[in-house]
A and B are shown apart, each in its own frame.
Chain A
């Protein structure tokens, strides 16, 4: 039997030290980690439980921005009145994610760290080839069932889609990920697969997310998260868009625009080309639709996921137009 030890960390510092040991993993809400352990993907030797640590679940908001502790629950953040009014896209991304039960368990730190839903990744007993799980073992997905795989940011080693909703909204609004001793833009926190798909974050052993901070902005205040999927609820995105919009005083010219895509890329995907094409333009449907096509520049499909290239720009356009109407 695969035994592992369970350690209930007494402080952040203790957690960090314990998690630095080989084979150790942090345990927050457990909704990803325990699932992956059951699939045989995660094989921790030590689980370092941080779920009860005090102080890491705070949500602090003022006119400059928000700081959300790594242990804040998805449901609490989604329900926070200040988050709803200053960062509606964050709240919407959260409440459209997973299910009510999962959101009540899952933490913000764990959410960022969730892993791909690639079915080959999740089934080691049937599919031995997976570069993400086992470097240089190959990729079982390429040539297989790819309906849910990424069309942006892929490599020959891995085409797995990053499934999280929250991080998509975070990259749109230039959030910062706070680790114990350093911090980095959320965009830099997610790595492209390249030749090393097993390495998803620039984290050193024992490094822990302590918080996420978001600068306040007019675009964040007028923002939305649009998630498109076959099932109305409890499904990962076929394509999603986090969009924030700020108009000039004339009420029609775009001053600031933030666009990020989910469900289509190997990491939360900021679509700067769309933003740049539209900033300074008058917000009109045709212009928006045209520019939104830039969201999938360079996209590569693997057959069954081709629809994502068609779909993603439409989701982006709808979200921008919706924000345009929401004066």
Chain B
């Protein structure tokens, strides 16, 4: 549990605390001074340490585990193998689908990927556990592995009918089109690599389990732990006061969590388990590798007649991860004929997972590269072709856009970037040894909506507390919820403290799909409104209140002081009023669920994603949008690509805090630069194993790789998307960056790179 006293930012913030103000991150000082204590930094009495033993083969069976030496090693408390592991139950999936009553063992006998957990060693100290883990001898029966999508044994995969999107007659229209292009695009395995690795401390008190664990979804993970151990949901408490980045990887309880919690139960001691950096490449899934083919047919002016899209992504042997590759494809342009289908191929990998804009991101790499190719084929400007094919409504559902400021984004971005000065021909802009290229691409991400809950408490001293089991992984939840409560209650933001990251607080759904800000500002707005109503109600009706005699209908609060709207009668601070009322606190737990929701529905809403509201519900289709303009410099001799300028215009509706939104966009753009130029999990094809599983070899951008990035907001409030008019801002920024860079590289060099990342050997 953490309390942040909010503070005004410096003068550059523009000084406004209310929703829409550029308040600096209220958790910033705690983080930069080291005062912030992360989940696994709790000091517990009697803490024991667990270390994982992982499979060194990619496919086969564990023949035997010899743990004799490990058990005898100094300090060892327990060696956990499938033979002595606690019987657990299989938990439901994130839709809440309850599986058949089958046992679950987080340690594998059947090996389906390299790096799978096969045993764990628990010892008095971390060093003892590490040493003993190296003594565990595992014998395997190895069988041939399917290493990746390109493995000849991989086949075409399983068709996912739910992904099929078709209208018109796409193949006939393609054949008939006067201009046609057809290309294949691939993206490799990419990894979230959050700074804070995954890990947890698990502690039992009887049949109550407390887990300190970085999490993007305390309630969802608590549900999984409860189901594994067959204890009531209420008996599990998840705590994650700060989260050091997640990017999609921290939303679900994972097998290492089950291992640590089992060990803690068996030993009757708290157990800490933290993954090593290499383990974070196989302990859970990064972005699946993908392959797409796109056939675009157009008329001579570049108006698209048909899009035929086929996508494939990898998944594991036992899990089904679908990376929706047709998601951006289907909505970006007005195509009268369209066909998109997708297969999923099983390979020997850990089940891939969510990573910033799953689906939309690789999908955009395909369509936004392909339309660029089409522009050159037709001989028109890459920006012009996008405007010629502008989708005035959702081409898939045929619904009106709630808001779509993409045309405005193109215009604002082009203006700031100076796009009109671009010379059309590839290799036509040179600066010494550098070939200069300008590229553009658009991006989008749906507005995922859900119901939220929050507790707002007005205290005797006039301060306000907000509580929620939602989390802050750096995106600014602490800050915007303080701003929302301050604005709704009419108090200065310094008077608001926000407590997050404890599953015993008012419940919250997943922090994923860019939904949290919209959901939680709505919930706090509602709860704070209820608290205010109660305060005003008491002020008007309680005989101890100086307002009781005023005969007013309502009162208003400004700057923490309460008075009648027209100013007649007394004016008191909230603290004075609370004192007169004799109240310690006024609290309201508000939620945005339909009033008649059952307890079961509420539970389901916060612990599964089954009740998320479709972004195309009702009459509207709701998306965030963006347009990226990128300049690259390619060294002609060396093939090295450096991004020298980025201007991105973003439509995320109303911004709750522009400073935080801009940080999210820039973070996404930086991650997109990494995706375009650096990031790739490299598989040793003989062993089916990622060999660059560390931050020395899996390259993410450094500051030196990042140019000045200019972001421009072109959004307008979108009340179809959220209570306060915002659309998701966390993920859309990465979407379209990689194709914008690839397009710029083509403009610079005349070489079209269709497989990411664009490393130097592809250009020399």
Contact = CB atoms under 8 A, between A and B. Distances in A.
Task: Indicate, yes or no, whether A interacts with B.
Answer: yes
Interface of A: 1-2, 40, 117, 119-120, 123, 125-127, 143-145, 147, 228-235, 238, 306-307, 310-311, 314-315, 317-318
A232 B128 contact: no
The 4 closest A-B pairs by CB, nearest first: A307-B761, A233-B704, A232-B704, A1-B131
Contact of B677 (A120, A230, A238): A230
Contacts of B637: 314-315, 317-318
Contact of A238 (B128, B433, B760): B760
B642 interface: yes
Given A1-B75, A314-B637, A228 B760 contact: yes
In the complex, which of the residues A228, A229, A306 has the most CB atoms of chain B within 10 Å of its own CB atom? A228
Interface stretch (B77-85, B149-157, B607-615, B689-697): B689-697
22 contacts: A1-B130, A1-B131, A2-B131, A119-B697, A120-B691, A123-B278, A123-B691, A125-B56, A125-B134, A126-B687, A145-B683, A228-B640, A228-B760, A230-B677, A230-B678, A230-B699, A230-B759, A231-B699, A234-B704, A235-B699, A307-B764, A311-B639
Given A2-B131, A119-B692, A230-B677, A307 B699 contact: no
B127 interface: yes
B127 A230 contact: no
Nearest to A120: B691
Contacts of A231: 678, 699, 701-702, 704-705
B208 interface: no
A274 to B, nearest CB: 16
A142 to B, nearest CB: 11
B433 A232 contact: no
Contacts of A306: 761
B638 interface: yes
B684 interface: yes
B194 to A, nearest CB: 19
A238 to B, nearest CB: 6
Contacts of B759: 230
A120 B760 CA distance: 23
Interface string B737-764: 0000000000000000000010111001
Contacts of B684: 144-145
Contacts of B127: 1
Interface in B178-219: none
Nearest to A233: B704
Interface in B705-764: 705, 757, 759-761, 764
A64 to B, nearest CB: 36
Contact of A144 (B56, B131, B640, B686): B686
B188 to A, nearest CB: 13
Contact of A228 (B278, B638, B703): B638
A233 B700 CA distance: 11
Given A125-B56, A318-B637, 18 more contacts: A1-B73, A2-B131, A117-B697, A119-B697, A144-B685, A144-B691, A145-B682, A147-B761, A230-B677, A231-B701, A231-B702, A231-B705, A232-B642, A232-B704, A234-B702, A311-B760, A314-B638, A314-B764
B74 A1 contact: yes
A238 B637 CA distance: 13
Interface string B139-162: 000000000000000000000000
B760 A230 contact: yes
B705 A232 contact: yes
> Which size bracket describes the interface of B in this complex?
35 or more
Contacts of B642: 232
Contacts, number: 89
Contacts of A127: 687
A126 B638 contact: no
B696 A117 contact: yes
Interface of B: 56, 73-75, 114, 125, 127-128, 130-132, 134, 278, 433, 635, 637-640, 642, 677-678, 682-687, 689, 691-692, 696-697, 699, 701-705, 757, 759-761, 764
Mostly, the B contact residues are loop
A231 B56 CA distance: 30
B718 to A, nearest CB: 38
Nearest to B696: A117
B640 A119 contact: no
B760 A126 contact: no
A120 B683 CA distance: 12
Contacts of A310: 764
Contacts of B639: 307, 311
B734 to A, nearest CB: 18
B119 to A, nearest CB: 13
Contacts of A314: 637-638, 764
Nearest to B114: A126
B308 to A, nearest CB: 33
Nearest to B635: A228
Given A1-B128, A125-B56, A238-B760, A230 B691 contact: no
A308 to B, nearest CB: 9
Nearest to A98: B696
Contacts of B760: 228, 230, 238, 307, 311
Contacts of B128: 1
Nearest to B699: A231
Contacts of A238: 760
A147 B74 contact: no
Contacts of A311: 638-639, 760-761, 764
B305 to A, nearest CB: 39
A145 B683 CA distance: 8
Contact of B686 (A117, A143, A233): A143
Nearest to A2: B131
A123 B760 CA distance: 26
B432 to A, nearest CB: 11
Contacts of A126: 56, 114, 687, 689
B697 A233 contact: no
A92 to B, nearest CB: 15
A311 B683 CA distance: 24
A116 B704 CA distance: 25
B137 to A, nearest CB: 12
Given A1-B131, A147-B682, A318-B433, A232 B702 contact: yes
Contacts of A1: 73-75, 125, 127-128, 130-132
A263 to B, nearest CB: 12
A100 to B, nearest CB: 11
A228 B640 CA distance: 8
Contacts of A229: 640
Contacts of B132: 1
A117 B704 CA distance: 22
A144 B147 CA distance: 13
A145 B691 contact: yes
B134 A119 contact: no
Contacts of A2: 131
Nearest to B75: A1
A82 B423 CA distance: 46
A315 B638 CA distance: 7
